[in-house]
Chain A
Amino acid sequence: MKNKLLFLLLLCLFASFVRADDTQNSGAKVGPIALPDISLIGNIIGDYNQDTNHVTFGMDELEMVIAGYIYPQIKADAVLSMHQNGLEIEEAYADFLSLFDTFSLRAGKMKVEFGKINKLHSHVWPYADVPLVINNFLAGSLSENGASIGIVLPLPIFVKSETGLYNVEPGVDGGPGTLSLSRELYSERLSASFDPTDSSELELATSGAISKGSDYPVSRDDVRLAGADLTLKVWPVNYSRFLLQSEAMYMKREQAGGAFERWGAYTYAGYTFNKFVDLGTRYDWSENAIAQMDKESKISGIFTYRMSEATFARFQYTYSPEKKSNEVLLQFVYGLGPHTHPLQ
């Protein structure tokens, strides 16, 4: 499997070299060439954690994205991720953008539409690490095989419903105390966005999911997740933006040994001063996802310097009151090649 992936990766690299060569020969007229968009996103992270007394530095993840239209109104995307655990197909799906002119269908392996940031790739988050609640309840990221149907409701404001059915790949784990799912996963996300003023946007959303725990055959572990999120963006002047993002999640696990409930949330507030500089802070609070109750909170300060849309350097300082420990993260993200994101 690994060899096949490596082969695919090399093939794509080759294709991108062919494209680069064409660029050299024919000037700017690369548009008509029927190759997909190929891009690389590198995420280099340096981390000093006082609690574990551990320093790491290096390539945290290298993401290769191949995307393009395969038919009018049908797109295919593949995201290959290389990280310390090896090669992984993070996403690979076909998008039927306009099914019966009303619905959209996505089929394949994809980020599950649950919550605000789970569906986004981490390099577009305004911070360098995974919020506690996302790590504890969603194992850092829920990306599964399945299908989801989306519909934008015919209303004067943007209201979108997304319903998904997935088959959870066992073994995805966010570390001790986190939730690990298995078998089927049903999810639903309903979001509404509107502009309170000409220079602002507010999104309110709710999400729900039903699945089983990874040791279901032993513990008969039924898992229910619910979430609510809010995103407020205000653009006071050109290039400046205030962002407030908050997400709360609730989890209920019913096991053979009894049922228990858990909560978690984070809030991020940040200001983009100009084309280059962002300053933000995030407060995290989350209970763990297992029967032995534990909870943790964190407060972070984040400074980002953007060189371009896809390339930036970031400094993040985090303090954990329960552990009385400090963590410093240095992040450098670079983008190479054409790369687009859906609306965020």
Chain B
Amino acid sequence: MKKLLVLTAVLLLPFVVLGKSLNIVASTTDIADIMKAVAGDRANVECLMKGTQDPHSVEPKPSMVIKVRNADIMAVVGMDLDMWANSVIEASRNSKVSKGGQGYLDMSEDIPKLEVPEGKIDARLGDVHIYGNPHYQLNPENGKIMADEALKKLIEFSPDDEKYFQANHDAFVKKLDEAIIRWKKTMAPLKGVKLAASHSCLLYFFDAFGIKQAGYIESKPGIPPSPAEVMALEKKIQDDRVKAVLVDQFFDMSEPEKLSADTGIKPVVISTCVNGIDGTGDYIKLFDFDVNAVVSAVK
């Protein structure tokens, strides 16, 4: 009998230990990193996708369902970017974290949105996001808004830890503010410079540092460019003396390399997610890497 009690206690131990902290699941690595920064050691934060995956087209896996099933908070990008996470949430049967539940956190709520389409939207325009461009994490100012969202939700779940979360939040925002000053100083010579990009996911990055967009390889999101579109971009690059084309880490390099061969423009691979490329292990390092890559290429 005694042995049975000990065995039961051992089996229940993980649940007791787990029960002490919040279980947070984030759809993307950027959100996971910000949630970790604010929650500190009071939460277990897990991420559904890897930084090397394109957040538009992640294939949901049953192992993700297991993570979401035990989640108290499920944090998503929203704006229809990570719609694949919805099928995971639904399959998890965890009503707490489904849309409308207390644990559902849409990080885009207070983000100033760019490229919100007007008028009739259909497939002629490509794979347009109807709520606007959802890659807002690429403006570091939006990282602060995401940290605010994280703080509000964490306090809601664990009001006793408010001071702890607030301190973590403030430390993260302070570090980010200092970094933003540094990045803006480094990027200052590029203000008003025209750069091309693989596609519109870099819009918020351009907006953050005052870079002018000279055109996208994928002029319609998700649709490979036609020869005429490539020629038009090449002409624009030559006319405007565009020095570099920024390419996100998922993009097939054949088009940027062709563009480079035809016009002499430099393809610069940058990361759009935390852990998308080696050396982008957290939200601050992501911008350190991208800012250095762009400045080095355009110098």
Contacts and interface: CB of A to CB of B under 8 A. Distances in A.
* A-B interaction: yes
B86 interface: yes
B52 A238 contact: yes
A48 interface: no
Interface in B261-296: none
A23 B54 contact: no
Given A239-B57, A340-B86, A158 B62 contact: yes
Given A152-B69, A203-B62, A343 B88 contact: yes
A98 B54 contact: no
Contacts of A233: 59
A98 B63 contact: no
Nearest to B100: A72
B158 interface: no
Given A73-B98, A194-B63, A235-B59, A27 B222 contact: no
Contact of B121 (A23, A31, A239, A342): A23
A201 interface: yes
B62 A104 contact: no
A340 B222 CA distance: 18
B91 interface: yes
A275 interface: yes
A52 interface: no
Interface in B66-86: 66, 69, 83, 86
Contacts of A238: 52-54, 250
Interface stretch (B27-35, B112-120, B140-148, B202-210): B112-120
A106 to B, nearest CB: 12
Nearest to B90: A97
A30 B60 CA distance: 26
A101 B59 contact: no
Contacts of B59: 233, 235, 241
Contacts of B91: 152, 342-343
Given A201-B61, A238-B53, A27 B117 contact: yes
Interface residues of B, number: 40
B93 interface: yes
Size bracket of the A interface? 35 or more
A98 B117 contact: no
- The interface centre, meaning the residue of B61, B119, B123 with most chain A CB atoms within 10 A of its CB, is B61
Interface stretch (B3-11, B17-25, B125-133): B125-133
Nearest to B116: A28
Contacts of A341: 87
Given A104-B93, A239-B54, 8 more contacts: A97-B93, A97-B98, A101-B95, A152-B92, A152-B93, A158-B63, A343-B60, A343-B91
Interface of A: 20, 23-24, 27-28, 30-31, 72-73, 97-98, 101-102, 104, 152, 156-158, 160, 193-195, 198, 201, 203, 233, 235, 238-239, 241, 274-276, 308-309, 340-343
21 contacts: A28-B130, A28-B132, A31-B130, A73-B98, A97-B90, A97-B98, A98-B93, A98-B95, A101-B93, A102-B93, A152-B92, A152-B93, A157-B66, A160-B62, A193-B62, A201-B63, A203-B62, A238-B52, A239-B250, A276-B224, A343-B65
The 4 closest A-B pairs by CB, nearest first: A158-B62, A193-B62, A28-B130, A24-B120
Interface of B: 50, 52-54, 57, 59-63, 65-66, 69, 83, 86-88, 90-95, 98, 100, 116-121, 123, 127, 130-132, 222, 224, 250, 252
